[in-house]
Structure formats: C-alpha cells, structure tokens
Amino acid sequence: MNFDFSDDQKQLRDQVRKFLAEKCSPKAVRVVLDGKAPYDKELWKGLAEMGFLGVAIPEEFGGAGAGHLELCVIAEEMGRANAPVPFSSTVYLAAEALLIAGSDAQKKKWLPAISSGEAIGTLALFEGKGNPSPKNVKLTAANGVLNGFKRPVADGAIASFAVVAARTGSSGRDGDISLFLVDLKAGGVEVKSLTNLDPTRGQADITFKDCKAEPLGAVGEGWSILTQVLDRAAVLCAFEQVGGSDRALEMGRDYALDRIAFGRQIGSFQAVKHMLADMYVSATLARSNSYYGAWALSTNAAELPEAAAAARISATQAFQHCAKNNIQVHGGMGFTWEFDCHMYYRRANAMALGLGSLTYWEDQLIDRMRKKNAA
Amino acid sequence: MGPGSAAHRFALRSVRGTREESSKMNFDDTPQEAAFRETARKWVAANAPKELHAELSKSSLGRIRLANHDIVDVGKAWQKKKAEGGWACLHWPKEYGGRDATPIEKVIWQQEEGVYGKLTQPFQIGEGMCGPTVMAWGSEDAKRRHLPKLAAGEEIWCQLFSEPSAGSDVAGLRTRAEKKGDNWIVNGQKIWTSGAHYSDFGLLIARTDPNVPKHKGLTMFFLDMKSPGVEVRPIKQANGMQEFNEVYFTDVVIPDSQRLGAVGEGWSVSLTTLMNERMSIGSRLATGVPELFDFCSNLMLEDGLAIDDPAVRSKLASWAVKSSGLKYTSYRAISALSKGERPGPENSIGKLVSGMMLQDIATYAMDLQGAAGALTGTDEETVQGQFQQMLLSSPSMRIAGGTDEILRNIIAERVLGLPGDIRVDKDVPYNKIPTKGR
C-alpha cells in the first residue's frame, strides 16, 4: 500500500509553496480583496509559466501531462495561499469538462490557451438559489442559440469562455440537459459583476440573449458530464480547503503562542488548546478523506463518486471550522479587516457553496453509499 | 518569461518525472508483503476456530460475548496455537517468543487474523504494554523467564497504574513500596485494572520516595498476582457489567530482582508502557457508523424510511465522513510503516473521534426509536438493544486509555507545539501536595 504522495510530488509541493510565498503574499491577496484588481494577473501569468495551470492537461494539448495527483498537490497550496486567481473555475471545472467531453477541435482551441494562461474558463450552472439539479436549469438552447441567465458564475466577469448548462428537452429527466461552449466575448452575452462573500474570487451574473453556442458533448448528455465534472472538482476543491484549513490552524496556533494574557501565553489555556486540537482533528480527517479522493480521481476508480462526496463534506466542514475558530483564537484582532483571518473565513464559506451546498453533498453521499451497499 | 523559459522547463521536468514513477498512490502489497499475506492467510484458514466466526463477527464495541465458551479459555487456546505456528507477538524478537516481524507485517497479520484477533483480548495489555516494558527495562533472566510464556498465552499480564486519586494525573499515585532488605513491601490500592482477576502477573508502579516531587519518587516493579496480600475485587460498572477491578495490596512482598529500571526512575519506565499503548495501528476502532447506516436503511418512520429523511441523511453523512476519515488516516499510517517511517501523531485522533461518535450515534439512534428507545431488552423495535448497549458503554471509551481532555492536551502540546499546562505541583515534594479540594 502506498497512500501518500510520492517524493517527486512532495518536491513539487515545496516548489509550489515557495513560488506562492514569493508571488502570493497576503499583501498581494489584499490588492484583489480591496477591489483594486479583479484578480492577480501577474500571479496567473507566473502559474502558467511554471506549468501549473496545465499540469493535468496532456502534452498534445499544451499541458505538462503530469496527472491529477500533481494537480491535487498544487490545489492544496493554492488554498493555503488563498490565491486570488480563477484557478478552480478554469482548471477544475472548464478544463475538466473539456477533457471529459470536448471534441478534438474544442480541446485544441481551449486547452493550450488555458495552459498558457491566455484563457480563463468557467462553468455556468446555477440560476439563482438552489443546488445542482436538472430541474433548476431553465436557460434554454434551441438550434445552438441560448436564452436565459446564470448566477452566480464564479469568475464570470473575467472569463473568456464558459461551459453552460442548458435545457434542450422537457421530459423531466436528466437527458433534458446539454452543455454548450460559449465564447463570452461574443454577441448576446451580458456580464455583470456581483458582490460576494469572497472578493478574492469574483462572481458574476451572465445573461444570454440569442447567444450562439456550440455543443460540448452529445445533446442530452449534459447532466451525466456535469456530474463527473462536479465530482472531480469536489476532490480538487477539497485539497484547496485542506490547504486553507491547515493555514487557518497555523495562524491560530502562532497567535496563541505569541499573545500574552493573564501573564501567560494564551496557548497555555486548555480552553484555547482544546479548540486548536479540535481544529487539528477536523483538518486531519479532511486530509485523509481527500487523499482517498485523490486516489480515486487519479485512477478513475469506480469509488470516485462516493470518495468525492466524502472528501467534499469533510473538507468543507474542516475549512469552515478552522477558519471560524482561527478568528476566535485571535479575539478582537481577528475581527479586523487588517488581520488576515477573515480572508480564510470568507473563502471557507464561499467555497462551501460553490459546487453545491453541504446539505447537497451529504445527500449525494448517502445516495452513493446506498448504491454501493445495494451492489 | 514565456513558455520554454528556464523556469518553465524546470517545472515541467519536475512534474513529468512523476509519470514514470512507480510509487503512485495504490492499495497494493509489495511482492514481499503479498507473499507474507498469503502465508498468513493460509495459516489462519487452516488453524482458526471457525466455529466461533459468526459469534465473533457479531460482537460490537470490541466486547466479546460467547454463548458456550469462556473468552480466557478460548483465547489461551488460540494464542498457544499462534505461538506454535510463529504468529504470536510477531513483532517481538524470536528469542522471546516472537517472529522478528516488521511493523507492516504485524498490520498485515492483524488484517488476516480478522475477527479471530478479538480472541487475543486477554493478552493485549501483556503484548502491547507489559511485555515491551519488560523487554526494554528487564534483566535478561526476567525476559527469558517471562516473555515467551506471555507470548504463548500461558501467562496473562495486567497493568497496575491508575489509582482512585490518580487517574489522568497518574504520577500523583499513592501506593507505597518500602525497601526491607532485598525485598519491597507494598501497600495501597489500584483501580480500573482490566483482567486482574485472571492475570498471573502485573506491572506495578509505586511510590518509593514521598519526599521528592511526584514524578521523581516512583519505581516500577512486576509481581506475581498470586502473592499473599493481593486482593482483587471486581467493579460493577455503570453499564452493569464487570470488566475492571480494584486491586488492594496489603504488605505484599516483591523481591528487588523484580524491579524494572532504577529506584526513582519509574516515571521514565512508565512512558515506555504508555508509548506502546498508542501503537495500535491497523486495529480499527468501532465508530457505530455501519450499525447506524444499517438501522436507518431499515427503520420505517411515519413518512417513509429513515434513510430517506433529509435530516437523518445529513447526520449520517457527517458521521460517515468522520468514520472514513479515521479509516484513511490509519491507511496513511500503514503506508508510512510500509516505507519504514514512524507513523505521525495523527493517529492520536482515533480514540478521541470514535469515542464521542459512539455516544452521539447511540443517542441519535435511540431518538429515532422514540419512546421504545428507552427499552433495553432484546426487542425487535430496538434492534436487539444494540444502541442502548452502545449508549451505556460509550462513556468508558471517552475515559479509558486517556480521557478526551488528555488526548486534546497531547495533540495541542505534542503535535501543535503549544505550551504545557502550568503545573503547580511540579517542584513540590509529593507529601506537601494538597489532597483535598475543599
């Protein structure tokens, strides 16, 4: 059994961490947080140059052709650094959808552009409130023309293209949904930025009015492709959440060591120690579940749907837990804009909703466990 | 800097290198491990008491109930057979009754031994704690006399550490040992001693100097549990069962040759014992999740099956990911062992998480049973009372082997590097430490 990352992968992790420590300091994150830039363009360029954007994209499409374990390693570091770039929407959602369902021409057009940092992609799925479900998709596609709206769309305001879920049937079944590729610079697209919990990753409202689009994958296959994309993204996001959990835990630990009250380090009080110990427990369970997800993702195992849901739930809970208690350990200072605690609190709670809520994934997990038990 | 630049090429080489790597994540044995597993599997298939398989599989919460057998008798028989086949205490040196097996081989053995491993319950304290302590601190004579008999199941050992006034603060213990010629005379009381009533030997820590700070006045011994002056009294527990004992010592004589480590060095010796306690990797702790999943899949509520209820699903999912998280945490530890590394401190979370879960899950399952949940018989509506048993037994899981609070302190101090507690009794002579709260 080898249930750990390889030495090369650990070396890659060190390399990414070093790179991000240099190019993605909290000060750099704050430029985006404070609304002075929509995302960190320099960092995005740097990630492309390092080969990180295309790490799991095959070489024939301009990527590094490494694999998903390597992408998990990078994801964890992106979460740790709270990187203000459209990494998850471009790499976990758009690129994965293209890899699963794209035609050769579509892959040739977009994947090299993703690897080189020229194209930002996203998935346009949600239409207001609600979780991923075919019945929540109202936007229509007829004869390759889209009409309707999507909100929130992660990184929608800076994306060059989107994978759009559209209704192509009305049977009430999953087969009613199809996916389309839309060049967001084309006509019939209106994009509006939305304020959101985590300003370091934008959200947008996109209206499609008689917008021309090309199908991605076969008509009627949309929901089945989406399910795969969401599962794969769930594992990758879990690694970001694990990275964020660890960082929030470290920040809390460091503050508990530095801060003196009642003549002692506050980390010597059991009430504080136990809070931090519980954060460690959450983060460890999340890491272990995510490793299993990474294994399932990298081997395309039949266990992926269950593993992805477990990783998603565990990592969502851990990041929310660590981010909120990090503020608690910091006391009043944790509630200031000046301290970095709220960046992780914002990211943790925004990420908890991005691919569907915690309740949604809990529901998915039980379905998938039942399916396995029945088999 | 565009693609093709130096930095770009460096990154690509680094990540591309991993493709040819054979060490990707996998759940396969190495060829040596597979061969070892095959040998173990064949031996278990040929030698295990298969007639007990069904009963052993059903026992939950680590407790074994056999209708027609005494666990000590069948346990001794299985241990003896294992010793003859070379499978007893297999990570011990051969000369002391072991097999010189590697840590990963021990894990593989435990997996293959499966439910029959439950039969070794009477020997676990001896194999896991007392034996390693004798091995580290005992004389060559003591090792040769005692370890092979322990390994072969001929002699059972118990551990005599906790006292009524020294639980989490075990170094505050009161049992005295006074030197008289070549012997020590022991007076005092121990408590929570599992298996004392069927043990042949005990590992005993006692105070030999009350005039120095508490950690410095302790000494470790082992003794024959049949010695005159040793009295074992069973404790009736809150769950109605009797698994633990009180052990009283009245002028018990222990020869100085049965001392382990120097006089006053007992605390260091005890750390060997306690360090070995947490090396229980591979033996999975019960969490209650499979039982709850099963129960909810069959329970009909007013609106349908419990497992179709959104509130039930949410709770179940949250517990399921804790349980899988523990499972994969142990896989990570096994993986580290397999590479010859020492597993990290993340294993300390196992008992902390599973103990609380058992209690919470039991409470929740009974809540779903409604008024009938209060019944403790073997009624059908309460699925043979398994959650009621779990509820009544689970408090001990959160206390024995380190309370939840002590475990959190260990994580905070040893893993996260937070300061130790302020110890007001640290430099105070033992006999000056207050003994009453008010």
pLDDT, one tens digit per residue, over A334-350 is 999 999 999 999 999 99
Q: Which of B277, B291, B302, B381 is catalytic?
A: B277
Contacts of B191 (CB under 8 A, 6+ apart): B162, B163, B164, B235, B244, B245, B246, B247
Q: Is the peptide bond before A152 cis (omega within 30 degrees of 0)?
A: yes
Contact residues, chain A, for B17 at CB < 8 Å: 8
Q: What is the pLDDT of residue A257?
A: 98
B7 against B83, higher pLDDT: B83
Q: How many helices (H) and strands (E) are present in chain A, helices listed first?
A: 12, 10
pLDDT over threshold 90, residue B227: yes
Mean pLDDT of chain A: 97
Nearest to B344 by CA among B274, B415, B418: B415
Told to judge if B265 belongs to the known catalytic residues of this protein, a careful annotator would answer no
pLDDT over threshold 80, residue B280: no
Mean pLDDT of chain B: 89
pLDDT over threshold 90, residue B57: no
Mean pLDDT for the stretch of residues B13-33: 65
Which residue in A2, A118, A131 has the most chain B C-beta atoms within 10 A of its own C-beta, making it the best mutation to test that interface?
A2
HEC profile of chain B = CCCCCHHHHHHHHHHHHHHHCCCCCECCCCHHHHHHHHHHHHHHHHHCCHHHHHHHHHCCCCCCCCCCCCHHHHHHHHHHHHHHHCCCCCCCCHHHCCCCCCHHHHHHHHHHHHHHHHHHHHHHHHHHHHHHHHHHHCCHHHHHHHHHHHHCCCCCEEEECCECCECCCHHHCCCEEEEECCEEEEEEEEECCCCHHHCCEEEEEEECCCCCEHHHHEEEEEEECCCCCEEEEECCCCCCCCCCEEEEEEEEEEEHHHEECCCCCHHHHHHHHHHHHCCCCCCCCCCCHHHHHHHHHHCEECCEEHHHCHHHHHHHHHHHHHHHHHHHHHHHHHHHHHCCCCCCHHHHHHHHHHHHHHHHHHHHHHHHHHHHHHCCCCCCCCHHHHHHHHHHHHHHHCCCCCCHHHHHHHHHHHHCCCCCCCCCCCCCEHHHCCCCCC
| Least confident stretch, A266-270, B225-229, B371-375 | B371-375
- The pLDDT-based confidence of A352 (bands split at 50, 70, 90) is very high
Which residue in B324, B338, B339 has the most chain A C-beta atoms within 10 A of its own C-beta, making it the best mutation to test that interface?
B324
Give the ipTM: 0.96
Q: What is the pLDDT of residue B251?
A: 98
**Alpha carbons B122 and A291: distance in angstroms, whole number:** 36
Residue A174, chain B, CB below 8 Å: the answer is no
pLDDT over threshold 50, residue B437: yes
Report CA-CA distances (Å) from B239 to A152, B108, B313, B396: 54, 34, 30, 9
A:229-268 residues touching chain B, CB 8 A cutoff: 249, 253, 256-257, 264-265, 267-268
How far does B260 lie from chain A, in Å, by closest CA? 34
A:42-61 residues touching chain B, CB 8 A cutoff: 48-52, 55
Mean pLDDT for the stretch of residues B370-390: 86
**Alpha carbons A94 and A56: distance in angstroms, whole number:** 13
**Alpha carbons B101 and B85: distance in angstroms, whole number:** 14
Q: Are B117 and B172 in contact (CB under 8 A)?
A: no
Which residue in B413, B418, B423 has the most chain A C-beta atoms within 10 A of its own C-beta, making it the best mutation to test that interface?
B418
Mean pLDDT for the stretch of residues A307-324: 98
**Alpha carbons B154 and B122: distance in angstroms, whole number:** 11
Q: Are B190 and B163 in contact (CB under 8 A)?
A: yes
Mean pLDDT for the stretch of residues A126-149: 97
Q: What is the pLDDT of residue B21?
A: 41
Q: What is the pLDDT of residue B281?
A: 52
Q: What is the pLDDT of residue B59?
A: 63
How far does A87 lie from chain B, in Å, by closest CA? 18
- The residues pairing with A216 across neighbouring beta strands, listed in sequence order, are A179
Contacts of B4 (CB under 8 A, 6+ apart): none
Contact residues, chain B, for A15 at CB < 8 Å: 11, 14
Residue B2, chain A, CB below 8 Å: the answer is yes
- The pLDDT-based confidence of B277 (bands split at 50, 70, 90) is low
